[in-house]
Amino acid sequence: MSEKKKFTMEFELKSSPRILYSFISEPNGLAQWFADDVTIRDHVYTFKWDDEEQRAKLLSLKENKLVKFKWTDDEPHCYFEMEIVQDELTNDVALAITDFATDETLAERRQIWENQVDYLLRVIGA
């Protein structure tokens, strides 16, 4: 199996960083677009989709800026991060996603993120 490599995607969103932050950091916000259900206990988030469940440890949190998780069953160097990027001149807000995938799964991972963020855009009406 080939090694997972880091990739980053950026999506422009018409939202304030504060509102967007609640959707990427709070279980009920995440449950509206990222997973069907999200619970948290001792900095470990449990994400549920249909009959699948995955756990991720919260690695870091910067208010109105960034959330970084690590899937508990993933390779040591891998994580996924959602960062709110705001342009200082235009005040445009974007969501930068950093994740890891093998060459074989990269297109699929990108598609999953595109679909999820598409759903997020509809939820926040951006």
pLDDT digits (tens, 9 = 90+) for 75-86: 999 999 999 999
- Which contiguous run of DSSP H or E holds residue 96? strand 93-101
- Domain boundaries of the chain, sorted by first residue: 5-124
Model-level pTM?
0.92
Distances (CA, A) of 34 to 27, 76, 77, 88, 104: 10, 23, 22, 28, 23
- Tell me what the pLDDT averaged over the chain comes to: 95
Predicted confidence (pLDDT) at residue 126 exceeds the cutoff of 90? no
Amino acid in position 65: K
- Which contiguous run of DSSP H or E holds residue 105? none
Three-state DSSP class for residue 113: helix
pLDDT digits (tens, 9 = 90+) for 3-20: 999 999 999 998 999 999
* CATH topology (fold) of 5-124: Alpha-D-Glucose-1,6-Bisphosphate; Chain A, domain 4 (3.30.530)
- Residues 35, 50: Cα–Cα separation, whole Å: 9
